[in-house]
Amino acid sequence: MSRPVIVFGTRNPGKLREVAAGLGEVARVQGLDDFPPVPEPVESGASFAENARAKALAYAKLLAPHLEKDALVLAEDAGLEIYALDGYPGVRSSRIADDDEVRRRLVLAKLHAGGYSDEDSRRARFVSAMALVTGGEVLAQVEGEVEGVIAPQPRGTGGFGYDPLFFYPPYGKTFGECSLAEKRAVSHRAMALTVIMDFIRKNLTEE
């Protein structure tokens, strides 16, 4: 079976870890570190989908001189949405502060300020939007999500970003307390990736 080359456009090691193993089943995966440095595309869209698409197209253009023929570029925009806070931090999930710990504190402070202390009012979801591009063309655009509850304080050291705050009721623990395999069985990123992998198997691999 011939497998396409896919460059996953991220500098986030947590995302790379969660995507590389699965995607490796259907494609030869490369990361940005396999290429000369390129600037990070600006994320100015109003939705995760818009940002994922813009990121994939921008990386495809920036990397074009170095890409193998027919190589594809995959990009993701992801984030946390808290229902009681009208979707905050949403598309700005990575930008409300400079580091993960401060971002987590900000989220907890907002919930505290709003008096959102019971489980029901702290419901949230993670969203992952992915776009698969070749040349200037978007071949597939998908989304995955997972529902959870914002914990009163961070728990666990696994994963990245908001994972220690994201309590997943079916597991009875936060994503920060989960193994990579546990998170990959249910996460927003894994759901989006499953659809991308199906698309690749059906359309881009040759027996």
CB proximity list for 184: less than 8 A, separation 6 or greater: 18, 21, 22, 190
- Choice between 145 and 199, CB closer to ligand IMP: 145
Given 8, 59, 126, 167, the residue binding ligand IMP (CB under 6 A): 126
CB of 1 to ligand IMP, least distance (A): 30
28 burial level (CB within 10 Å; 0-12, 13-18, 19+): middle
Helix spans in 142-187 (H): 180-186
Given 23, 29, 32, 94, the residue binding ligand IMP (CB under 6 A): 94
Is residue 171 close enough to count as binding ligand IMP by CB under 6 A?
A: no
167 burial level (CB within 10 Å; 0-12, 13-18, 19+): buried
Given 23, 81, 189, 204, the residue binding ligand IMP (CB under 6 A): 189
- Choice between 30 and 51, CB closer to ligand IMP: 51
Is residue 162 close enough to count as binding ligand IMP by CB under 6 A?
A: yes
Given 160, 173, 184, 186, the residue binding ligand IMP (CB under 6 A): 160
Q: Is the peptide bond before 13 cis (omega within 30 degrees of 0)?
A: no
CB of 55 to ligand IMP, least distance (A): 8
Bridge partners of residue 80, in order along the sequence: 126
From the list 1-9, 24-32, 77-85, 117-125, the region that binds ligand IMP by CB under 6 A is 77-85
CB of 2 to ligand IMP, least distance (A): 30
E strands within the chain?
A: 5-8, 28-31, 72-82, 88-89, 123-134, 137-150, 166-168, 173-174
- Choice between 27 and 75, CB closer to ligand IMP: 75
Residues marked as catalytic: 77
- Choice between 4 and 144, CB closer to ligand IMP: 144
Least Cα distance to 136 among 207, 59, 47, 66 occurs for 59
Bridge partners of residue 167, in order along the sequence: 149, 174
Pairwise CA distance, residues 116 & 118, whole Å: 6
- Choice between 154 and 161, CB closer to ligand IMP: 161
List of residues contacting ligand IMP (CB under 6 A) = 12, 43, 76-80, 93-94, 103, 126, 159-163, 187, 189
